Structure 1
Amino acid sequence: METRPIEIDPRRFWPQAGYGDLFPDVRRIGVLRGGGLGDLIFALPAIAALSAAYPGASLTLLGSDVHRSLVAACDTEIEDVEVLADGWDGSAAPSGPGGPRSGGRANDGLEAAVARLRGRSFDLLVQLHGGGRQSNPFVHRLGAKHTVGCATPEAAKLERSLPYQVSQPEVLRWLEVASLAGAQPVVLEPVLKAKARPSARLRGNVPRPVGRREVVVVHPGASDPRRRWPAGSFAQVVAAVARVGYDVTIVGGEEDAATAEEIRDHARVLLQGSASAPRGAGLVTATAGRYALADVVSLLSHATAFLGNDSGPRHLAQALGCPTVAIFWGPNAINAAPFSRARHGIHLGWRTTCPVCGAASALGTGRCPHDVSYVDDVSPEAVYADLSRFLLQ
């Protein structure tokens, strides 16, 4: 019997109130998406949908420094990146880390950004940043012909707006925003492809040509300390991976260097004290703070698997096609966990009160000042069992 592809009417896929017709004569699209590495990766399916809906239109990302580095390292639908302010992480309006202020360097930076971006004459500006309290007024100032995005009740509305609710998968949130502009989904999970070959300093850690050891990449960092699995738990899994012959490279930023070295040293002690450690045990190295983002992209493109917390590098590994096993704080899994499970395992910590003071924590609410792990009850044995399905025993 002949099989036919399933055709889905996007008007049925999305709620009718959230779906819009294509805008006419769109040649220049701007996408506002601040924040870190993972924040942009969550928006990639929406960007792909916009690119497919408006073929031939140029697409400019209004983002941050790390976004420009990612676009330089990977093939994407993004043609260029406007960095709104040095170090802007999206936590405030795009005038700098402190938000808009009267007078001073921050306000000057905002006015210069507005003038520069108005000169782009965007036909469509898509706010993929958040609830819009600070970002929507900024969007309005750029003078685009058409605007779409999310809006909390107190935020300024755009031409087409969706209500912003905290507990929603980020990928689907931004796909739903793209649907306001008539853009149909073309992928449901982020996809990236590395542009560059490994650099000279990285080449020794990439498992090519055939015959070199395979590499498992570990990233122990996370922007929120509550999402960080303990170094000792990582070390147990790292030692088990090295014991079966895989090299392990622990990556991260400079802020992760001390933790990476702690994991490396602990894993080496575990290996030395194990009677079952074969002569061919893999090497464990700590490289946090040493690699540029393009190098991490190359490394993940060739890695056997990735192990880490809910973090930008985990989302990057997934987009590059690397199998991942990650530790998530339960509430964050609603927004940030991958949809598929064949190549991506998640392990959830369900602690919802601070172990120091007992204060309750929930997604999108305030928090106490204690920077302690909420995922320390995740079992290293369970994590290794999951990771081992990607390893050749």
Structure 2
Amino acid sequence: MVEDVFPDVERVAVVRGGGLGDLMFAYPALTALQAAYPHASITLIGSELHRRLLDGRSGPISEVCVAEPLLDGSEEQEAFFAQMRARGFGLAVQLHGGGKNSNPFLLRLGAEHTIGTKTPDAPDLERTLPYVYYQHEMLRALEVVGLAGASTARIEPVIAVEAAETAAAERIIGTGPQPLLIVHPGATDPRRRWPVEHFAQLTVAAVEDGWRVALVGAVEDVEDAQVIVDAARAGLAPELGDRVDSHAGRLSLAELLGAFTCAEVVVGNDSGPRHLAAAAGAKTVGIYWVGNALNAAPLSRRRHRVLMSWVTRCTVCGVDVTQVGWTAERCTHDPSLVAEVAPESVYDEIRALAAGH
């Protein structure tokens, strides 16, 4: 249900921390807010990563303010909230979790109207949505902004990519007659990572079938990416080895975004870069644990395919891994929960997307 628009709102604050994926989940809701309040500026209170991606980029966000962790009651924290209150927000929107910690933060912004999600132990806002963990994050955010009268026909994120970003990526990754498959092997939670040997098998199959493969990722993905490249080259005929290479840790955020526009298909785990690739317009194949798929898998299937693992218990200790968030303590083990997804199945989806099927 969409509520009425709040009157006379000239400035909107949106609280959404986290990484690239978290931002992409919120992006359709941010676009809907812009449409509902076309004359208002929207300030995203988010992370430094968000600022690097969005500064100067066309879209719904007017500015990004980075909310650094600040000691409660410190002069720096008081100064931050004083600066935020001085902006005179007419509306503040909480899109960050269940509200136990984020709703008190939101209330200190001093906005005339407040909306957001709420667990039973979270402070009230003017209009709230109950926070239930297993809900798709993009739909949750859209439901929240519906509390402020925002609605949209766009349920997945679209982010503008500059021609200069694509050109910069092409200079680094290169071009060639073979279609480009970009592989991102990383994920914040190690349990969401497909085994490196599976990525290597996939890479071999793709190169032998006429693809060029580029590994991408952050600094922490460099080691895994190189393991995949080395294993793939060992399994390929010598003359095919130069069709696979790693650029992990070497691309800026802008260059990574540009690289996604060069790819025929992008494959990866449930991770921020896969979500960013989808928003940039790439075809993607995602490897998901079923619980994460409920909350974060792409909603459409024309450009995106999802391979799911249906594991429900830790493969080390047997604890039920579907009980997440505040409902149960996480066990200390980090086995891959997606190892059962077969490389052959992933490659079948890559070929289908490339063929337009």
Which band: TM-score by shorter chain?
A: over 0.9
Question: d(CA) in 2 for partners of 1:118 and 1:150?
Answer: 21
Give the aligned CA root-mean-square deviation in angstroms: 2.0
C-alpha distance 241-147 of structure 1, shift in aligned 2 (>3 A): same
Matched, 1:331 2:314: no
- Partner secondary structure for residue 60 of structure 1: strand
Cα distance per residue 1:12-37 (max 9 Å; x no partner): xx3xxxx3101001111111100111
The Cα shift of 1:206 comes to 5.2
Question: d(CA) in 2 for partners of 1:256 and 1:108?
Answer: 37
Which position in structure 2 is the counterpart of 1:372?
335
Which position in structure 2 is the counterpart of 1:68?
51
The Cα shift of 1:281 comes to 7.2
Matches within 5 A, 1:146-225: 146-198=113-165, 202-205=169-172, 212-225=177-190
The Cα shift of 1:241 comes to 1.3
Question: d(CA) in 1 for partners of 2:56 and 2:161?
Answer: 6
Which position in structure 2 is the counterpart of 1:133?
100
Which position in structure 2 is the counterpart of 1:32?
15
* Amino acid corresponding to residue 104 of structure 2 in structure 1: P
Question: d(CA) in 2 for partners of 1:189 and 1:268?
Answer: 37
Counterpart of 1:54 (choices 11, 31, 37) is 37
Cα distance per residue 1:168-199 (max 9 Å; x no partner): 00000000000000011231111112125138
C-alpha distance 245-31 of structure 1, shift in aligned 2 (>3 A): same
Cα distance per residue 1:216-268 (max 9 Å; x no partner): 11111111111100000011111111222222111111111100000111111
Counterpart of 1:42 (choices 22, 25, 44) is 25
Question: d(CA) in 2 for partners of 1:42 and 1:108?
Answer: 33
Maintained 8 Å contact 1:243/1:281: no
Which position in structure 1 is the counterpart of 2:88?
121
Maintained 8 Å contact 1:227/1:375: yes
Question: d(CA) in 1 for partners of 2:185 and 2:294?
Answer: 21
Cα distance per residue 1:17-64 (max 9 Å; x no partner): xx3101001111111100111001000110011000011211111000
* Amino acid corresponding to residue 367 of structure 1 in structure 2: R
The Cα shift of 1:372 comes to 1.3
Question: d(CA) in 1 for partners of 2:177 and 2:62?
Answer: 36
* Amino acid corresponding to residue 288 of structure 2 in structure 1: F
Matched, 1:341 2:301: yes
The Cα shift of 1:212 comes to 4.8
* Amino acid corresponding to residue 345 of structure 2 in structure 1: A
Question: d(CA) in 2 for partners of 1:24 and 1:130?
Answer: 27
Question: d(CA) in 1 for partners of 2:32 and 2:334?
Answer: 38
Which position in structure 1 is the counterpart of 2:351?
388
Unaligned runs of 5+ in 2: none
Question: d(CA) in 2 for partners of 1:390 and 1:152?
Answer: 40
* Amino acid corresponding to residue 110 of structure 2 in structure 1: G
Matched, 1:77 2:60: yes
Question: d(CA) in 2 for partners of 1:291 and 1:354?
Answer: 34
Count of aligned residue pairs for this structure pair: 353
Which position in structure 1 is the counterpart of 2:248?
288
* Amino acid corresponding to residue 42 of structure 1 in structure 2: F
* % same residue: 47
Which position in structure 2 is the counterpart of 1:249?
214
* Amino acid corresponding to residue 146 of structure 2 in structure 1: S
Question: d(CA) in 2 for partners of 1:149 and 1:118?
Answer: 18
TM-score, normalised to structure 1, is: 0.85
Question: d(CA) in 2 for partners of 1:71 and 1:389?
Answer: 33
C-alpha distance 55-328 of structure 1, shift in aligned 2 (>3 A): same
Which position in structure 2 is the counterpart of 1:88?
none
Question: d(CA) in 2 for partners of 1:166 and 1:65?
Answer: 26
Question: d(CA) in 1 for partners of 2:314 and 2:231?
Answer: 27
Counterpart of 2:237 (choices 272, 282, 289) is 272
Cα distance per residue 1:310-347 (max 9 Å; x no partner): 00011011111100001101111000011111211111
The Cα shift of 1:392 comes to 6.2
Matches within 5 A, 1:225-240: 225-240=190-205
